[in-house]
Amino acid sequence: MEFSSRFVLLILLSTTAVVLAYTEESIETQDLLIRQVVPESSSSNQLDDLILNAEHHFSNFVKEFGKVYADIEEHAYRLKVFKKNLLRAKRHQKFDPSAVHGITKFSDLTPREFKRNYLGLRRKLDLPSDANQAPILPTKDLPTDFDWRDHGAVTGVKNQGTCGSCWSFSATGALEGANFLATGKLVSLSEQQLVDCDHVVRNRSFLICDAESPSSCDAGCGGGLMTSAFEYTLKAGGLEKEEDYPYTGKDRGPCKFDKTKIAASVSNFSVVSLDEEQIAANLVQHGPLAVGINAAWMQTYIGGVSCPYICTHRLNHGVLLVGYGSAGHAPLRMKDVPYWIIKNSWGESWGEKGYYKICRGHNACGVDSMVSSVAAIHTTPAKP
């Protein structure tokens, strides 16, 4: 009888975990101004006050983020969504206590709207034939902490807007770092070139992807894959500077690539092992890495090290891995948490000035599952 009871309890706990993971994936749902839902020292009364006075906080939210709605009906609907997201952020805080969750600029969006407009990783794309498996690197003397921002290899945080082009920002970020290592110069590269051109035939000289096979094509604001972007850049000859081919956040426009304005070129690209030590070694040796992640916990993220108890590995967002740390403060876990440093593409008004920290050692939210490295063509080597 005792064994039977324990077995039933185990089944119930397992089912609960599955339901929670499914809910996060499928339920419709400028700074750190706005209060987090569960501050580190807050009482339950303060939390209840935030939720009970949702309309007041919604007014502050609208002013802070410059929200404009079409009419009274739209305003009422967004308030309803906002209230649901307060409860959702409360749930996130409970299951991700080492991070801070609360009201963000995405708090008036359902999860479906958020996914459609701000993600965009097409994980079902075929891996390009030009992609190599990265060689195994030594890991014995890796630094305890490392951040490419401290070495000049990372451009400022960009904003993809309401376009599912995260993959292009991840790809340009990796090539910007690789180009810095190859030339000693940090140049901001064009995401819009990838959005406009990474699915077309140029001068009928080569085919970027097979138009008859959607599984091989990036699709602008409709999503893409970083390795596919590297393959396009390799075949096209390179990417222009952002200032020469500026970002509009819109697709379906004509490709305006000018080969005479190429600012960085790809020599090769590789898929990195899922092993975290190998990821760290490739990061240190080859520069920032293009990474896929599940963004289920990012809509409500404000700061801290995100290490959710439950997170599916179904990848849906492309980001840039720029560094790692050994000891992220996690007061509710009563210990320090090692973490990855992620550069996102939602502007500096999200997260920690545009950055996201996620714990290392657990493949949290699939962060170790899709990692790629790119090398740029060398001209003048960078100083060590």
Coil, helix or strand for 268?
strand
265-302 tens-digit pLDDT: 999 999 998 899 999 999 999 999 999 999 999 999 99
189 lies in some domain: yes
212-245 tens-digit pLDDT: 555 557 788 988 999 999 999 999 999 999 999 9
Answer yes or no: are the C-beta atoms of 288 and 177 closer than 8 Å: yes
Residue type, 256: K
112 lies in some domain: no
Is pLDDT of 199 > 90?
Answer: no
DSSP 153-213: --PPP-B--SSS-HHHHHHHHHHHHHHHHHHS----B-HHHHHHHTTSEETTTEESS-TT-
Cα dihedral sign, 150-304-156-119: positive
Residue type, 47: L
Q: Average pLDDT, whole number, for the chain?
A: 83
For residue 383, name the pLDDT band (cuts at 50, 70, 90).
Answer: very low
86 lies in some domain: no
Answer yes or no: are the C-beta atoms of 310 and 95 closer than 8 Å: yes
Answer yes or no: are the C-beta atoms of 327 and 358 closer than 8 Å: no
Active site residues: 166, 317, 344
266 lies in some domain: yes
Q: What is the pTM of this model?
A: 0.84
Angle 56-58-62 from CA coordinates, rounded to 5°: 125
Is pLDDT of 130 > 80?
Answer: no
Is pLDDT of 23 > 70?
Answer: no
90 lies in some domain: no
For residue 139, name the pLDDT band (cuts at 50, 70, 90).
Answer: confident
382 lies in some domain: no
29 lies in some domain: no
Q: What percent of the chain has pLDDT over 90?
A: 65
Range of the domain at 355: 117-376
5 lies in some domain: no
Total structural domains in the chain? 1
Is pLDDT of 210 > 80?
Answer: no
* 130: CATH: 3.90.70.10
